[in-house]
Chain A
Amino acid sequence: MNKSIIILTLIINMVSFVFPTGMNSRFAAGNEHYENGDYQKALEVYLEIAENTSNWKLFYNIGNSYFKTGDIVRSKINYLKAERLNPFDKSVEQNIRIADELLDNRVRLPDPDYITRTLMRFESFLTINTLSVLTLIILLILLFFIFRLFRAGRSKIHIYGILISLTLLLLLFTYHIHRVNSFHRNNQAVIVVSNSQLRSGPGEDNTILFEINPGVTIRIVDEHRNWVQVTASSEIAGWIEIKNIEKISIQ
């Protein structure tokens, strides 16, 4: 009886960890405001949810709300956040394109090559949570084989079982670490200040190479104090003050 209560508590804890209570009702309320044309109110509700939650649908709707209230740059930032959490979603991609069109932005980061794109598609399918559960299952399989080896004695099936599951476990564990790290690494940003200048080095003494408009997506290459080295396209690169950009970070 006691054991059942403990397991139930843990499951509830896990569910409430991923699905905080009341979040969906507030999300629905935000959607209602949006559909009634009260975009500002909808935005307020969405932003309140976003203080503790990161979800691609939420960011998508925040982007739409900003779009409706006329802040296209913020709109694009949120679409990019949605894209990070749900890559290759056609709706998100399309809205980014619309925002770029309205921002008159034709500066584009180079498209990823075929291999990178395939890898990205694979990663969007195999989420970090799936990977965590898979790693745990493989760990249990490995332990089962080890236990059998001790109890039932050495046999081919036990030895191969241990070797295969151990290899799989190591691969999955390493890949898990890589995925978590790459999720938290935010090297994408958007220019948010008008007439931001890209310079040849970190510091105002360096030559101005480009003046760049808000809304342009950039990739951060390096950081030095309050300056970041960025690339905006295959031809546009330089150093920019960090206050002129907003990183696409999932807090």
Chain B
Amino acid sequence: MKLYLTLILILVSILPLGSADVEFSASVDSEIIGLEDYLVYTITFKGIQNPVPPDITGIGDFNVIQTSRSSEFKFINGVSSSYVNFLYYLTPLKEGELLIPPLKYVHNNNVFKTQGFKIVAVKGSIKKTAPQKRRSLFDLDEDLSPFNSFRSAPQEIDVKLRALISKKKALIGEQLIYRILLYSRNRIESVNLISGQSFPGFWQEWYPVRKSIDGVSEVLEGKNYQVYEIRKAALFPSKMGELLIPSVRFELSLSDNSFSFFSTPRRITRSTNSIRIHVENLSANSENFPVGRLDITVKPEKHSIDINELLSIKIEVKGFGNIKTLKIPEFSSGKSFKVFPSKITRKINYKDNGIFGNVIAEVPVSFKEPGIVKIPSLEYKYYDPLESKLKVIKSRELSISVTGVREEYTSDLNHVSGGIAKIGTDIDFIMKGSIYDQKRFVYRSILFRVILVVIFAGVLSFFIYEYFIKSYILGNKKYRKKKSVQSLLKKLDGLKEYGDVFQIIEEYLEVKTGIRRSEISKSRIEDLFYSSGINKNDTEEFLRIRTETELSRFSHSTIKTISQLRIEITDLKNLIKRIDLKLK
């Protein structure tokens, strides 16, 4: 069963191939063409998948301007056929009867041959030129193939840019239209500006770049071009003299490539020509006025208003000119009304013949008294370059009916302490008393800084004492020993009774030798002094004083006068100094 199924599947898959007959044919779309026309020569392969492009070098009477390839698969009455078409766009090289010779093609050792064609070429053009139709640049959805509507595409790149200006002699502030045109005999996919577009000496207003640009056909130097307006700007010269509009550079992507069947975009760059313009100043009486064709209208929001309401008056200046620099004339406050700052809006329309727009100022106005209030007309001056004269236009006078009673300006101030006595219109009182500099802050004063430094130093010293001096210096044994003799001598100086000497000597020995006070005895001192190399006389003298001072605490017979005590203590101090040098 499985074997049958496999065989059926193989047969089914082979059948279409077997049914596809191989054919090789050629056709032309016309047998009579003009010298300016082109001919579409189609070579069709049937039943050959992925054929090699045929050799057409034998076609000598024609120039091949473009090639293309297409393939399709058809099912007709259950029979499938694959077709591959090679299209050649040919232009005749001469007038008269021309020949497209038969072409040969070898496939699987079979030789296939097309028929030959005789084509009559006549002068001029007999075909309706496709590019006559306005077509869109960049609008690829409409026309993916360059030959559907634009069949005069040449094989060589022929693209030019031209910059045009509406006037080469202009006045300061006059509107000029600057256009950049693209002349092309190729299919353009995209256009990108790659240089700056700032022109010194001009106020520029560039038109928005359109998504789709329509082209028109134009013959230039005997060649038919598609012309596209790719950029446009309104230029307003801002200074007089010879001004230069520099060239502008673009990068263009071309989609046609005559040497490849598969179109690949190719990038090229082109620049516009630079343009010189002579700019003159306006006449002396017209200087600083706007240039263009303008009109002014003044409209109130309403003609009747309550005195406590604000009326909005709309002043509009519109027309052709540099809308962005137009200034609106202003109302001055009158006896019966006050004018407040206005809100200004500008609108620009990009017309073919220049920038057109308007500037609207919405002016709030309040009224001081009821009745009919006349708001005077506004005068507006501008220079008209077409009529070459200064024009003065006037808006109409407004008449506003004001009703109601004006609410007086009220104040919640009734105090006098602050110094205001009269309210509303005048200021008579001033501040008195002492003043001080409020921006001189206490934290910036020297005293404040000194206090901070002292606090910081105190804290630092405290911690140094607690963590360093106390632990590492005062607690050190050597230091303590060294200090002990000084302490002893100092205590001896302040001594008033002889008996107190004993206590001080004992304390000294304890600190100096490390022997506890209870362990200090005559024999221990002798041993210690001996081992330290202290001479015998000093040892005996020391022991004598020790014994004598110990006894003097309990016996009045040993009481000494102050002078005797001083002599004794001086001797003792000298003795202790000698002992301390050697005592370990």
Task: State whether B341 touches A61 (Cβ < 8 A).
Answer: no
B70 within 8 A of A: no
Instruction: Give the residues from 1 to 57 in chain A that come closer than 8 angstroms, CB to CB, to chain B.
Output: 10-11, 13-14, 17-20, 23-24, 27-28, 31, 34-35, 49, 52-57
B459 partner residues in chain A, CB cutoff 8 A: 143, 146
Given A31-B432, A94-B423, A136-B451, answer yes or no on A216-B341 (Cβ-Cβ < 8 Å).
Answer: yes
Task: Name the residue on B nearest A6 (C-beta).
Answer: B450
Instruction: Give the residues from 399 to 452 in chain B that come closer than 8 angstroms, CB to CB, to chain A.
Output: 409, 411, 413, 415, 418-420, 423-425, 427, 429-448, 450-452
Interface residues on B, range: 35 or more
Instruction: Give the residues from 208 to 246 in chain A that come closer than 8 angstroms, CB to CB, to chain B.
Output: 208-213, 216, 236
Task: Name the residue on A nearest B327 (C-beta).
Answer: A195
B268 within 8 A of A: no
Task: State whether A98 touches B424 (Cβ < 8 A).
Answer: yes
Task: Name the residue on B nearest A101 (C-beta).
Answer: B409
Task: State whether B333 touches A208 (Cβ < 8 A).
Answer: no
Instruction: Give the residues from 76 to 108 in chain A that come closer than 8 angstroms, CB to CB, to chain B.
Output: 85, 89-92, 94-95, 97-98, 101-102, 104, 106-107
Task: Name the residue on B nearest A99 (C-beta).
Answer: B427
B447 partner residues in chain A, CB cutoff 8 A: 10-11, 13-14
Stretch binding the partner chain, chosen from B56-64, B111-119, B223-231, B342-350: B342-350
Task: State whether A95 touches B430 (Cβ < 8 A).
Answer: no
CB distance from B457 to the nearest CB of A (A): 12
B530 within 8 A of A: no
Indicate which residue in B361, B411, B435 contacts A53 across the interface (CB closer than 8 Å): B435
B455 within 8 A of A: yes
Indicate which residue in B425, B430, B445 contacts A64 across the interface (CB closer than 8 Å): B430
Task: State whether A104 touches B338 (Cβ < 8 A).
Answer: yes
Task: State whether B446 touches A13 (Cβ < 8 A).
Answer: yes
Given A132-B448, A211-B344, answer yes or no on A68-B442 (Cβ-Cβ < 8 Å).
Answer: no
A14 partner residues in chain B, CB cutoff 8 A: 442, 445-448
A211 partner residues in chain B, CB cutoff 8 A: 328, 341-342, 344, 361
User: Which has the most chain B C-beta neighbours within 10 Å: A23, A98, A101, A216?
Assistant: A98
B466 within 8 A of A: yes
Indicate which residue in A17, A67, A107, A213 contacts B445 across the interface (CB closer than 8 Å): A17
Query: Can you sample 20 A-B contacts with CB below 8 Å?
Result: A13-B446, A14-B446, A18-B442, A19-B434, A19-B436, A34-B430, A53-B436, A54-B437, A57-B432, A90-B413, A90-B420, A91-B418, A94-B411, A95-B420, A104-B339, A128-B443, A143-B455, A146-B459, A208-B346, A250-B439
Chain B positions within 8 Å of A, measured between CB atoms, are 324, 328, 330, 333, 338-346, 361, 364, 409, 411, 413, 415, 418-420, 423-425, 427, 429-448, 450-452, 455, 458-459, 462, 466
Chain A positions within 8 Å of B, measured between CB atoms, are 10-11, 13-14, 17-20, 23-24, 27-28, 31, 34-35, 49, 52-58, 60-61, 64, 67-68, 85, 89-92, 94-95, 97-98, 101-102, 104, 106-107, 128-129, 132-133, 136, 139-140, 143, 146-147, 150, 176, 180, 183, 195, 197, 205, 207-213, 216, 236, 250-251
